[in-house]
């Protein structure tokens, strides 16, 4: 070991002895804070949770074919066959598409039923859409089922607003 390195080591050792304990504590605190800052920067740069990412990490992600977390989705198109799409909200989270179909089938023919679910865990979000081919039957179903207690919740029904 050369003379310079030995004198640096002796100086650091001297900090931890005798009256220099305050200086040694300060050096230890500064080293700890620098380590925490470096760890925070690394976590922000390489975090897979999707919150704070750099532009290069977005480019790498889009090359894999994945979507950005809050990418705007296209609205569902209006029915082309002239049928009526009904928005049904405030549904029980335990309701199935078949139960919703049966509730609306009492007022007329039902074309399709879609319950909207969380894409990560598959659970219902508490609303859905019912498509009915006949406008009179659809209006009758909306009038009868709006604010009706169904599975412990008051359903909200109205004609869906397609934002196209």
Domain that holds residue 101: 84-159
The CATH code of the domain that includes 112 is 3.30.70.330
Report the chain's mean pLDDT, rounded to a whole number: 79
106 falls within a domain:
yes
Q: How many domains in the chain?
A: 2
Strands, E assignment, 46-110: 84-89
24 falls within a domain:
yes
Percent of the chain at pLDDT above 70?
65
Least confident of 20-24, 119-123, 131-135: 20-24
7 falls within a domain:
yes
Give 105's pLDDT tier (boundaries 50, 70, 90): very high
Whether 41 and 94 share a structural domain: no
73 falls within a domain:
no
SS3 content of the chain, % helix, strand, coil (to 5): 45, 20, 40
Statement: residue 48 has pLDDT above 70: no
Residue 86, CA distances (Å) to 95, 105, 115 in order: 17, 13, 12
Give 21's pLDDT tier (boundaries 50, 70, 90): low
112 falls within a domain:
yes
> pTM higher than 0.85 for the full model?
no
Whether 94 and 33 share a structural domain: no
CA angle 156, 159, 162 (to 5 degrees): 120
pLDDT for 46: 75
17 falls within a domain:
yes
Whether 88 and 44 share a structural domain: no
pLDDT for 144: 95
pLDDT for 93: 92
């Amino acid at each position: 070991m050369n003379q310079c390195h030995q004198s640096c080591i002796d100086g650091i050792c001297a900090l931890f002895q005798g009256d220099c304990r305050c200086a040694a504590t300060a050096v230890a605190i500064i080293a700890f804070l620098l380590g925490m800052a470096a760890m925070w920067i690394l976590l922000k740069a390489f975090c897979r949770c999707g919150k704070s990412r750099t532009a290069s990490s977005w480019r790498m992600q889009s090359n894999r074919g994945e979507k950005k977390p809050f990418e705007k989705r296209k609205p569902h198109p209006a029915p082309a066959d002239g049928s009526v799409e009904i928005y049904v909200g405030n549904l029980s989270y335990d309701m199935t598409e078949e139960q919703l179909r049966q509730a609306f089938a009492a007022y007329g023919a039902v074309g399709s039923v879609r319950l909207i679910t969380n894409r990560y865990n598959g659970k219902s979000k508490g609303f859905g859409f019912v498509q009915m081919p006949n406008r009179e039957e659809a209006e009758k179903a909306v009038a009868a089922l709006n604010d009706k207690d169904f599975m412990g919740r008051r359903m909200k029904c109205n004609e869906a607003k397609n934002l196209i």
